[in-house]
Amino acid sequence: MNYPFWKFRIKIFVESINKGIWHAVVNSYAIPTQVVDDKTTNVSFESWPVKEIRRAKYDSKAMNIIYSSLNCDEFFMVSAYTMTKEMWDLIQVPLECTPEVRRAMKYSLIQEYETFWMQQGETI
C-alpha cells in the first residue's frame, strides 16, 4: 500500500461525504455511559439523544469506508476494533511511524552507511 497516497484519498473521500464522518476518524468516540450506584454502565440505545445517534452513525460510516478500502491482511489486522479512531491509529503506526520511530530509522541508516566497507577485491 502506498500509505501517504491512500491516507490523502481516504481523507478527501470521507470529507466529501460529510466532515462529521472525518471527525469520527480522527477523534475518539465512546458509547454514552451513566453512573448508577457507583457503577458505570452503557446507556441503552433507545435513550441516546439525537446528537449521540448522529455521532455513532458517523463512526459507523467512517469504519465502513475504511474497511472497504483495505486489503485482506490489513482488514484482519484491524477487524477486532469497534471504534474508528482505534482502527485508524492501528493502521497508521506501522505505515506512518511516529517521530521517534522515524528518528531511530534515520540513525540506523546513518550507522549502516558509516560502517559500510568494501570487501577485498570488490570494485565500485
Task: Kindly state whether residue 114 falls inside one of the protein's structural domains.
Answer: no
β-bridge partners, 39: 36
Q: Is the pLDDT of residue 16 over 90?
A: yes
107 is a domain residue: no
Tell whether 122 is covered by a domain.
no
The verdict on residue 105 lying in a domain is no
Confidence of residue 22 (pLDDT cuts 50, 70, 90): very high
E-strand ranges in 1-124 read 33-36, 39-42
Domain that holds residue 62: 3-98
Considering the domain boundaries, does residue 121 fall inside one?
A: no
- CB of 78 closer than 8 Å to CB of 87: yes
The confidence band for 36, taking pLDDT boundaries of 50, 70 and 90, is confident
Q: Is 36 helix (H, G, I), strand (E, B) or coil?
A: strand
Q: CA-based Rg of the chain, rounded to a whole angstrom? A: 22
Structural domain includes residue 85: yes
Residues 59 and 20: their CA atoms lie apart, in Å, by 9
pLDDT tens-place string over residues 71-117: 888 888 888 888 898 888 888 776 666 677 677 778 888 888 888 87
Length of the chain: 124
- Distance separating alpha carbons of residues 72 and 104, to the nearest angstrom: 30
Number of domains in the chain: 1
pTM: 0.68
What are the tens digits of pLDDT across the range 42-67? Answer: 888 888 899 999 999 999 999 999 99
Residue 66 domain flag = yes
Strand partners, 40: 35
